[in-house]
Structure 1
Amino acid sequence: MLDYINLASIPAFLLIFVRVTAFFVTLPIFSYRNVPTQHKIGFSFFLAAMLFFTVDIPIILPNGTFILLLLKEALVGIFIGLMAYIILAAIQIAGGFIDFQMGFAIANVIDPQTGAQSPLIGQYLYTFTLLFILSVNGHHLMIDGVFYSYEFISMQDWLPIGEEGFAAFVIDSFNRMFIIAFLMATPVVGCLFLVDVALGIIARTVPQLNVFVVGLPLKIFVALVVLFISMGIYMMLAKTLFETMLTTMRNFMQLLGGA
C-alpha cells in the first residue's frame, strides 16, 4: 500500500483538495448553508481523492513557493465558483425589478440558502431555476467543471490577474448577467408600466377615485397573472442562463490558464 501511494505526491493532493474545497465555497447549490459543512468537506476530500488518481499530477516539493501555490489554488476555486454564482444571480436581480414595480420591495425575505435578504419574486423564480438545474443534472456538470479545470489551469501556473483581459472578462460577465435579468423582468415590468399609465389616466378623468388604494392590489393581481402566463418563457430563459453559466465558467478557466 505504501509503495502504491507515493508520499512525495502528498503536497499535490493538498493542492487538489484546496482547489476542490474552494470550488464548493462559492459554487451554486453546493455552497448553500443548508448543506452541512461536514458534508462539504467530506465530499471535497473524496472528490479530491478521485482526482488525485485521475489527473496527471507533477511532483511538487514543498518549498518557499508552496504556500503561494496553495493560495493560488484557493483563488482558482473561489473565482470560478463566484463567476457561476454571479451569472445565476441574474434571477435575483430580475426579481428585484419585479418586486419594485409590484410594491413588494419592502417585503424582502431571508434566503435560507445564503442567509441574505432576497426579493419575494426573486426567491420564487430562483427556486424554480434550482429545481430546473437539478432536474437536468446541472450539478453533475458543475462537478465536471472541477475536473476539467485541470485541463486549462495547471497546478504550477500562476494566475494572470493583473492582465487587462481578466478585468474585461469580469465586466463583460456582469453586463451579460444584467441583460439576462432585464429580459426576465421585461414581461412583468412592461405590463405594470401599462397599468401605471392606465391608473394615471383614470386619476385625471375620475378624480373621485383613489388610485393609491386601487392601484396596489391591481398591480399585484396583474403581476401574478403575467407571471403565471409567462412561466414557460422564464423556463426558457433559465435554460439559457444555465448554458451561459457553464460557458462563462469554461471561458474563465481558459482565461486563467492563459489559453
Structure 2
Amino acid sequence: MLEIIDINSIPIFLLIFVRIAAFFVTLPLFSYQTIPAPFTIGFSFFLAFIMFYTVDASAVTVDYMYLLLLVKEALVGLLIGFIAFLILSAVQVAGGFIDFQMGFAIANVMDPQTGAQVPITGQYLYIFTLLFLLSVNGHHLLIDGIFYSYNLIPIDAFIPFHDGSIAYFVINTFNQMFLIAFQMAIPIVGCLFLVDVALGIIARTVPQLNVFVVGLPLKIFVSFVVILFFLSLYIGLVRNLFETMFEVMQGLMQLFGGA
C-alpha cells in the first residue's frame, strides 16, 4: 500500500485541495449553512483527487516558498468564489430597493442559508435565481471554472498584486453589481414612484382622504401585481446576471495569471 502512495505528491495535492476548499467557502450555493461541512470537505477532497492527475506541478518544491504558495492558493479560491457571490448579491440588493419603496424595509427575514437578515422581496427573488441556476446546470459551470482555473493560474505562480489591477477590478465589479441591482429594481420602483405621485395629487385635490392609510396597502397591492408581470422579464435579467458572473470570474482569473 505504501508503494502505491507517492509521498512526494502529497504537497501538490494539498495545494490543489486548498484552492478548491477555499473556493467552496465563499461560492454561492456550496457555502450555505444548510449544506453540511463534511459534505463540502469530502466533495473538495474527491474533486482535488480527480484534478490532481490533470495539473502540471513539476516545478513545485517543498521549501520556504511552499507556505506562500499555500496562502496564494487560498486567496485564489476565496476571491474567485467571492466575486461570484458579489454578483449574485445584486438580487438581494434589488430586493432591498423594492422593499424600501413598498414599505417592507423594516420587515427583514432570517435567511437560513447564510444566517443573515435579508429583505423579503430580495429573498423571494434570490430563491428564484438559485432554482434557475440549478435548472440550467450553472453549478456545473462553476465547478468547471475552478477546474480550468489552472490553465490561467498555474499552481507554481504567484499573484501580481503590485500594479493594483486586481483591486480596481474588484471595485469595478462592486459598482457593476449595484448597476445590475438597479436595472432589476427599476420596473417595480418606477411604478411605485408613479403611485406616490398619484397619491400626492390626490392628497392635494381631496384633502378629506387620508393618503397615509390608503397609500401603504395600495403600494403593496401594486407591487404584487407588478412583480407578477415582472417575473417573465426577471428570468431574462437573471440570465444576463449569470453571463456577467462567469465573465467576471474569468476576468479575475486572467488577472491572477498575469494576463
CA distance in 2, matches of 1:189, 1:41: 42
Residue 156 of structure 1: how far off its partner (Å): 1.3
- Structure 2 unmatched ranges of 5 or more: none
Taking the aligned partners of 1:60 and 1:18, their CA distance within structure 2 comes to 15
Equivalent residue letter for 2:35:
V
C-alpha displacement of 1:57: 2.3
- Asked if residue 33 in structure 1 is aligned to residue 8 in structure 2, the reply is no
Q: C-alpha offsets along residues 52-84 of structure 1, whole Å, 9 cap, x if unaligned?
A: 012222252321121111111000000000000
**1:22: which partner in 2?**
22
* Residue 53 of structure 1: aligned partner: 53
1:164 match? 164
Structure-2 separation of matches of 1:17 and 1:59: 18
21-30 or 65-74: bigger deviation? 65-74
Write the distance in 2 (CA, Å) between the matches of 1:88 and 1:149: 20
Kept in 1, the 8 Å contact 2:59–2:156? The answer is no
Determine if contact 1:91/1:122 at 8 Å carries over to the other structure. yes
1:162 CA displacement: 3.3
Aligned-pair distance for 1:160?
1.7
State how 1:110-129 maps to structure 2 within 5 Å. 110-129=110-129
Map of 1:54-69 to 2, 5 A cutoff? Answer: 54-69=54-69
Name the structure 2 match of 1:184: 184
The number of residue pairs the alignment matches comes to 259
Q: What residue in structure 2 maps to residue 225 of structure 1?
A: 225
Q: CA deviation at 1:5?
A: 3.9
Residue 193 of structure 2 is matched in structure 1 by 193
| Partner secondary structure for residue 89 of structure 1 | helix
Q: Is 2:22–2:74's contact at 8 Å kept on the other side of the alignment?
A: yes
Deviation of 1:168 after TM superposition, in Å, equals: 1.6
Give 1:207's aligned residue: 207
CA distance in 2, matches of 1:14, 1:60: 12
Q: Report which stretch shifted further, 95-104 or 163-172.
A: 163-172
Rounded Cα–Cα distance in structure 2 between residues aligned with 1:177 and 1:58: 39
TM-score, length-scaled by structure 1: 0.97
Give the drift of 1:27.
0.5
Q: Structure 1 residues 220 and 198 mapped into 2: Cα distance closer, same or farther (>3 Å)?
A: same
Q: Deviations over 1:96-148 (max 9, x none)?
A: 00000000000000111111110000000000000000000000000001101
Amino acid at match of 1:87: I
Residue in structure 1 matched with residue 252 of structure 2 by the alignment? 252
CA shift, 1:2, in A, is 4.7
Distance in structure 2 (CA, Å) of the matches to 1:59 and 1:67:
15
Q: Corresponding residue for 1:152?
A: 152
What is the alpha-carbon distance in structure 1 between the residues aligned to residue 102 and residue 17 of structure 2? 46
Amino acid at match of 1:252: L
One-letter amino acid of the counterpart of residue 186, structure 2: T
* TM-score, with length taken from structure 2: 0.97
* Aligned-residue offset at 1:9: 1.5
- Aligned-partner residue type, residue 199 of structure 1: L
Q: How far off its partner does 1:25 sit?
A: 0.3
